[in-house]
Amino acid sequence: MQQPIDILITPDLIVRCLLGFAVGALIGLERQKDHEDTQVGIRSFGLHSLLGTLAAYTYTATSNPIVLIYATVASLVFLGAQIGHKFFVMRGRGLTTSIVFALSFVLGALVGLDAAPPPGQYIGSLSVLAMAVSFLVFLVLSFKEEISETVTAISKQEMISAAQLAVLIFFLWPLIPQTIFIGTIEFPVFTVYVMVVILLSISFANYILVKKYKERGRYYFAFFGGFANSEATVASLTETYVNSGRIHVGKTSTAAIMANISMVLRNGIIVIILEWTLASSIAIFNFYLVPLAILTLMGIVSLLQARRQVLEGEEGEIADSLGSPFEFGAALRFSLVFTAVSFFSLILQTFFSDLGMLVAAFVGGFASAGAVVTIATPLYTSGAISLATAVYAVIIATVTSVMNKIIYVYSLDREMTLFKRVARDAVIMAAGALVYVLVLALGYLPVG
């Protein structure tokens, strides 16, 4: 006769049970808080998902599906009873609670079916997936009113733009090659494609934020967009400024300053993360601290000055018509500039040594300082370039990236009002950092 299999109480099983209950209870928390008279809440959802966890875990441990089948049938009975009670007793409408109640069982089963995690870990990949989906469902349910209002307010043009962006991402993404060879140069064509997608995504987000939050929207967009790509962010701000009838030039230039400040902060974060991860040191970051402080301080000074001018003189509202939220023209012009600069940088890095890296940092900064920083830091930690070269490359690329907004604004708007303000603010930010580079170059502050 077959001997029964002992399922020991292990830390892994305890963690699975806790997670199995939690992934359902989190959804039940939202349902109970949103519907005080609901018949299913934290306990019902949590126990339902725990049922799935125990049934699935028993199946993985014994290879006998009887418990899993029994639990699945029981879950269907509970679900049917819940739906019947809602429609025939409570006379309610909608299937959201019933759908997420069924989903809680599946999430619990994922936790139970998860493979044993590696030594030293207690959570496997399927458990992480279950937690992520549970949290996503919680967010979707929590912000249902905001989502409903947003969907209601979306125009036909905006829906078409969102569909175009989805097609560009999901259908073309697998078809674009990573690199192509132009002579002996291996050019990252996929990177250019990603930059176009980023710009179009940022443009769409900018459109939505400005439309929803009016004047505050562009500031939110500028600061957080600058962390992703300051060049694309400023390009999108300029396009919105042109489409809205060139009003609020001061607020647009203020937003451009915020994008530059967040870009400077982002580069510092990239340096310290890469250095510490690759070499457990912060040698480059120690020298980057001074220009980081200078650029941020000068940016804040320019920001306050621009803000004061806005409060004193600008009037009017953003135009109702902001044009299309999906601007291919701006993306094309941006991608052409980015492609030319990136290709020239690759030539310099291929055929020259440290001097080539510095020239590439200057040229590459016009396309993306983040890319230069991401390249220069690992080259230093691997010994391919000196500390001095890495420090100069990071600072030069950052300063160039502050200045490159002048080019992108001019390429999108030949009317000089915004161009002059962005150029003035960029020069103010860059001046102090350039003085610091000169101090380093003259040896007053030696770089090892």
**DSSP class per residue in 134-181:** HHHHHHHHHTHHHHHHHHHH--HHHHHHHHHHHHHHHTTGGGS-S-EE
Q: DSSP secondary-structure letter at 95?
A: S
Q: Is residue 302 within 8 Å of 428, Cβ to Cβ?
A: yes
Helix (H, G, I), strand (E, B) or coil at 46: helix
318 has pLDDT over 50: no
Provide the residue type at 443 as one letter: G
Residue 49 is predicted with a pLDDT of: 92
Q: How many residues does this entry show for the chain? A: 448
What's the pLDDT band for 51 if we cut at 50, 70, 90?
Answer: very high
How do the residues of the chain divide into helix, strand and coil, expressed in percent and rounded to 5?
80, 0, 20
Give the residue-averaged pLDDT of 103-123.
Answer: 82
444 has pLDDT over 60: yes
Q: Is residue 165 within 8 Å of 201, Cβ to Cβ?
A: yes
Distance between start and end Cα atoms, the chain: 75
Greatest mean pLDDT among 93-97, 143-147, 149-153, 400-404 lies in 400-404
* Angle made by CA atoms 443, 282, 441, in degrees to the nearest 5: 15
What's the pLDDT band for 88 if we cut at 50, 70, 90?
Answer: confident
CA separation for the pair 409, 412 (Å, rounded): 5
Q: Is residue 152 within 8 Å of 212, Cβ to Cβ?
A: no
Give the residue-averaged pLDDT of 389-413.
Answer: 88
Return the closest-CA partner of residue 243 out of 157, 327, 314.
327
CA separation for the pair 207, 192 (Å, rounded): 23
Instruction: Give the percent of the chain with pLDDT over 90.
Output: 7
Q: What is the pTM of this model?
A: 0.56
Q: Which residue has the higher pLDDT, 202 or 26?
A: 26
How crowded is residue 130: how many other Cβ atoms within 10 Å of its Cβ? 30
Report residue 313 as tokens: 């003189």
Provide the residue type at 92 as one letter: G
Lowest average pLDDT, out of 43-47, 206-210, 429-433, goes to 206-210
Q: How many CA atoms lie within 13 A of 237 on its CB side?
A: 39
Lowest average pLDDT, out of 156-170, 240-254, 279-293, 372-386, goes to 156-170
85 has pLDDT over 60: yes
Lowest average pLDDT, out of 36-40, 63-67, 114-118, 252-256, goes to 36-40
What's the pLDDT band for 317 if we cut at 50, 70, 90?
Answer: very low
Q: Which residue has the higher pLDDT, 318 or 303?
A: 303
Element (H, E) at 187: strand 185-187
CA separation for the pair 401, 391 (Å, rounded): 15
Residues 6+ away with beta carbon under 8 Å from 81: none
CA separation for the pair 397, 356 (Å, rounded): 13
CA separation for the pair 250, 256 (Å, rounded): 10
Q: Is residue 349 within 8 Å of 361, Cβ to Cβ?
A: no
Residue 155 is predicted with a pLDDT of: 62
Provide the residue type at 220 as one letter: Y
